[in-house]
């Protein structure tokens, strides 16, 4: 079945009622039905008539439709004029059977696929990734997976912070304080150490501060020695970054840092000046926004008084490359909420340039510690992402060893990896992206509640059912849903086709997480009330089919979030 339940019902309503904008949503109270529409209430307000009377007219029309009769019981009216639809068990059974025969699990591809550049993660060179990078990295990865699954062509770009004033201190620290042995043992921490040493020395001695500025000037001028140090910093940083990304199962098509655009920046400014988009102000070249009240108080500087460039200039060059060379229809940037004004100003400039595409800023909130402040170590430093992931696996390993002491050590370690990393990812992706949330180890690793281990445990429970079967199992040609819990689970399975596309409506991975949690809940309710292996005949085959479909949807849905599933826990 190529359309979701909601889309199927919506199409019928639009055809029968001749109302192009009518739609259905899952029922708020399932006692009255599975889906509902408020079309009568909305139209009654427009026509100044009684909504229940109008709903009765609509129900009469709908009840006579043969196609709707195959999908739903006769529609009913509730409350001030809601029209409710209760799905027929036979149709739900057909949906589950079709899902089992479909590699896409019933999720249709988009009718008009787009070519989309997605910019996410974007850490700085010569610094370790920390917990502050987690949200951009995981949200961006999930959106990429979903967009590709829906049929879009996605180009991923990790826009690294690999150029800027900090490299004057990094290079001075390299020359003055570097410990080669420590560099080989732990490159990133050594680069951080030499930067901190250089920064402290510069603050204590104006002569050292001047040396750092000189090192930066030499780098920007292409000095061979300083360029060599910079390239080595980039190489070492990328090695560490790639280890982290491999651990998280994340790949990028391009890793174009700010330095990639250096040669293009003078041309950007010249074109802005020639087009009258930018003008000189106190020695700097600026773009003004007199016709945009929210931006009018501060112009965007595209070339500083000293001739240097900034993020705005680099981002314009980046957008030009993505549209002109990569031929992108859309550009998504997963960057923290404080950058909202920057992207608003940037899009005004791109519109004035006539680029033909703008940047969709996908902002997010912060990860908080137990004190409800930005999560940091006791010493006030950023929490290392590498150490956080290590701790996730270590914490997950303890209950695994307790529950399955007979498993080989390597298998226990792999299960702990899948559960630990999955717990961190799910804790992030189950939150509304704009919400600040508290990082809580106990909650995210719990086997009860809206957590990855709860969902993974549902999958493992299903796999254990099939391990107890004698011989191979194949899905029956037809299913028969007789129990309320069977129908409820079947309906939830069919709604996977609605949950996945909804993620991109407002870039909300939490909608998929919420759906999977509801699916796991529906499965556990079914499991408790409908014996599977003890059932006989057609009932047993139907229940096995529901189990198999649930396992596939859990695995597929979690996979779209970059989360794996173990075969046992």
Q: Kindly state whether residues 339 and 243 are assigned to the same domain.
A: no
Q: Is residue 370 in a domain?
A: no
The vertex-483 CA angle with 479 and 486, nearest 5°, equals 60
Backbone angles phi, psi at 308, to 5 degrees: -80, 165
Is the pLDDT confidence value at 366 over 60? yes
Is the pLDDT confidence value at 206 over 70? yes
Work out the burial of residue 175: count CB atoms within 10 Å of its CB; fewer than 13 is exposed, 13-18 middle, 19 or more buried. Answer: middle
Q: Number of folded domains in the chain?
A: 4
CATH code for the domain in which residue 433 is found: 1.10.730.10
Contact 526, 165 (CB under 8 A): no
Q: Write out pLDDT tens, residues 213-244.
A: 999 999 988 999 999 999 999 999 999 999 99
- Decide which of 199, 216, 248 is a domain's last residue: 248
Angstrom distances, CA of residue 361 to CA of 149, 347, 437, 535:
21, 10, 20, 52
| Mean pLDDT for the stretch of residues 420-445 | 95
| DSSP code, position 126 | T
Q: Write out pLDDT tens, residues 113-170.
A: 999 999 999 999 999 999 989 999 999 999 999 999 999 999 999 999 999 889 999 9
- What is the extent of the structural domain holding 52? 5-87
Three-class SS of residue 379? coil
Q: Is residue 317 in a domain?
A: yes
pLDDT over 90, % of the chain? 88
Q: Is residue 432 in a domain?
A: yes
Q: Kindly state whether residues 183 and 70 are assigned to the same domain.
A: no
| Mean pLDDT for the stretch of residues 431-442 | 93
Q: Kindly state whether residues 232 and 298 are assigned to the same domain.
A: no
Q: Kindly state whether residues 334 and 470 are assigned to the same domain.
A: no
- Decide which of 362, 377, 399 is a domain's last residue: 362
What pLDDT, on a 0 to 100 scale, did the predictor assign at position 110?
Answer: 95
CATH code for the domain in which residue 67 is found: 3.30.1360.70
CATH code for the domain in which residue 354 is found: 3.40.50.620
Q: Kindly state whether residues 397 and 482 are assigned to the same domain.
A: yes
Is the pLDDT confidence value at 89 over 90? yes
List the one residue out of 258, 265, 260 whose CA is nearest residue 160: 258
Q: Kindly state whether residues 229 and 204 are assigned to the same domain.
A: yes
Long-range CB contacts for residues 340-343, cutoff 8 Å, separation at least 24 = 341/294, 341/295, 342/311, 342/312, 342/315
Q: Kindly state whether residues 357 and 466 are assigned to the same domain.
A: no
Cα 34 to Cα 52: distance, rounded to the nearest angstrom: 19
- Decide which of 248, 269, 304 is a domain's last residue: 248
Q: Is residue 37 in a domain?
A: yes
List the one residue out of 512, 371, 380, 529 whose CA is nearest residue 450: 512
Q: Is residue 306 in a domain?
A: yes
Q: Kindly state whether residues 74 and 155 are assigned to the same domain.
A: no
Q: Is residue 276 in a domain?
A: yes
Residue 129: in which H helix or E strand, if any?
none
| Mean pLDDT for the stretch of residues 325-346 | 96
Is the pLDDT confidence value at 378 over 80? no
Q: Kindly state whether residues 271 and 357 are assigned to the same domain.
A: yes
Q: Kindly state whether residues 429 and 300 are assigned to the same domain.
A: no
Q: Write out pLDDT tens, residues 462-492.
A: 999 999 998 889 999 889 999 999 999 999 9
What pLDDT, on a 0 to 100 scale, did the predictor assign at position 1?
Answer: 55
CB contact set of 306 (below 8 Å; sequence gap of 6+): none
Q: Is residue 106 in a domain?
A: no
Three-class SS of residue 535? coil
What pLDDT, on a 0 to 100 scale, did the predictor assign at position 369?
Answer: 87
What pLDDT, on a 0 to 100 scale, did the predictor assign at position 38?
Answer: 94
Cα 371 to Cα 354: distance, rounded to the nearest angstrom: 47
Q: Is residue 377 in a domain?
A: no
Q: Kindly state whether residues 427 and 470 are assigned to the same domain.
A: yes
What pLDDT, on a 0 to 100 scale, did the predictor assign at position 442?
Answer: 92
Is the pLDDT confidence value at 538 over 80? yes
What pLDDT, on a 0 to 100 scale, did the predictor assign at position 379?
Answer: 62
Mean confidence (pLDDT) of the chain: 94
Tokens 């498993």 sit on residue: 407
pTM of the complete model: 0.94
| Mean pLDDT for the stretch of residues 256-269 | 96
Q: Kindly state whether residues 279 and 228 are assigned to the same domain.
A: no
The vertex-303 CA angle with 302 and 309, nearest 5°, equals 90
| Mean pLDDT for the stretch of residues 349-370 | 95
CB atoms within 10 A of CB 155: 18
What pLDDT, on a 0 to 100 scale, did the predictor assign at position 373?
Answer: 83
């Amino acid at each position: 079945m190529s359309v979701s339940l909601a889309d199927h019902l919506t199409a019928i309503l639009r055809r029968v009622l001749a109302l192009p904008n009518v739609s259905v949503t899952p029922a708020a109270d399932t006692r009255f039905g599975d889906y509902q529409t408020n079309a009568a209430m909305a139209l009654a307000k427009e026509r100044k008539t009684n909504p229940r009377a109008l709903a009765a007219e609509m129900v009469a029309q709908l009840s006579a439709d043969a196609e709707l009769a195959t999908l739903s019981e006769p529609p009913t009216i509730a409350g001030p004029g809601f029209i409710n639809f209760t799905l027929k068990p036979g149709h739900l059974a057909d949906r589950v059977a079709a899902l089992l025969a479909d590699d896409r699990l019933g999720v249709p591809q988009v009718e008009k696929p787009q070519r989309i550049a997605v910019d996410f993660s974007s850490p700085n060179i010569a610094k370790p990734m920390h917990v502050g990078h987690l949200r951009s990295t995981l949200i961006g990865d999930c959106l990429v997976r979903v967009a590709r699954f829906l049929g879009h062509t996605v180009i991923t770009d990790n826009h690294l912070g690999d150029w800027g004033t900090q490299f004057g201190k990094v290079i001075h620290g390299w020359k003055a304080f570097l410990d080669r042995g420590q560099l080989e043992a732990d490159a990133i921490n050594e680069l951080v150490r030499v930067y901190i040493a250089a920064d402290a020395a510069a603050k204590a001695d104006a002569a050292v501060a001047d040396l750092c500025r000189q090192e930066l000037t030499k780098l920007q001028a292409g000095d061979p020695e300083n360029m060599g140090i910079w390239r080595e910093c980039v190489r070492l940083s990328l090695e560490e970054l790639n280890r982290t990304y491999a651990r998280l199962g994340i790949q990028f098509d391009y890793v174009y840092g700010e330095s990639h655009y250096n040669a293009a920046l003078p041309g950007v400014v010249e074109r802005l000046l020639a087009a009258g988009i930018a003008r000189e102000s106190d020695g700097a070249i600026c773009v003004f926004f007199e016709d945009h009240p929210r931006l009018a108080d501060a112009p965007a500087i595209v070339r500083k008084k000293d001739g240097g460039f900034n993020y705005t200039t680099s981002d314009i060059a980046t957008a030009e490359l993505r549209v002109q060379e990569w031929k992108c229809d859309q550009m998504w940037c997963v960057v923290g909420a404080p950058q909202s004004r920057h992207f608003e100003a940037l899009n005004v400039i791109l519109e004035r340039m006539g680029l033909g595409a703008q940047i969709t800023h996908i902002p997010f909130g912060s990860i908080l510690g137990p004190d409800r402040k930005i999560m940091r170590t006791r010493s006030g430093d950023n929490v290392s992402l590498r150490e956080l992931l290590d701790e996730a696996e270590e914490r997950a390993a303890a209950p695994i060893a307790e529950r399955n002491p007979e498993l080989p050590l390597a298998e226990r370690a792999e299960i702990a990896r899948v559960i630990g990393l999955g717990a961190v990812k799910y804790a992030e992706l189950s939150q509304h992206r704009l919400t600040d949330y508290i990082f809580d180890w106990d909650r995210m690793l719990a086997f009860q509640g809206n957590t990855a281990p709860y969902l993974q445990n549902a999958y493992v429970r299903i796999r254990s059912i099939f391990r107890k079967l004698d011989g191979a199992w194949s899905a029956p040609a037809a299913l028969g849903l007789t129990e309320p819990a069977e129908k409820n689970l079947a309906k939830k399975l069919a709604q996977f086709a609605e949950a996945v596309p909804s993620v991109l409506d407002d870039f909300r991975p939490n909608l998929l997480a919420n759906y999977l949690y509801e699916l796991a809940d529906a499965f556990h309710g079914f499991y408790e009330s409908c014996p599977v292996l003890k059932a006989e005949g057609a009932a047993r085959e139907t229940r096995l089919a529901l189990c198999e479909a649930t396992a596939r949807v859990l695995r597929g849905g979690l996979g779209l979030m970059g989360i794996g599933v173990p075969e046992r826990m």
